[in-house]
Amino acid sequence: MKNPAYVRAEHLAVVVVALGLAMVHLHEVSWPRFVAAFVAIDLLGYVPGALAARRARGGRIAPLFHHLYNVTHSYLTAGAVVALWALALGRLEWAMLAVPIHLSGDRGLFGNGHKPAALPFEPAEVTS
């Protein structure tokens, strides 16, 4: 489901602010943890559904893949994961900015929202 322009603008603002903070604290960011957090969201939530959709060749895939995407791309899940991460470290860290950068980047740059199970996992190509 695509986000309206104003929602995309809000998410782009989040990306700009979070990237600005990451750049200001460039030397304090644990880049391996930043990259791991950024990539894990799609490795767990997007890639399985994208592979299933590719194998289905335009056919329906199990709703589980849509739900997996939605859970991993949710700010509620992200907040819980970051809270557990902070508890494990005993503090917040700048690498945690990878999470809102990823989620707001998806929404702001690509217009991605949650994926309803009733719709195809990947948007259909428009041919003219």
Give residue limits of the domains in the chain: 5-110
pLDDT confidence of residue 4? 82
80 in Cβ contact with 126 (< 8 Å): no
Burial 19-45 (b: 16+ CB within 10 A, else e): eeebeeeeeebeeebbeebbeebbeeb
- Does residue 42 or residue 3 have the better pLDDT? 42
d(CA 26, CA 56): 42
The model's pTM is 0.90
d(CA 65, CA 88): 29
pLDDT digit string, tens, across residues 32-90: 999 999 999 999 999 999 999 999 998 899 999 999 999 999 999 999 999 999 999 99
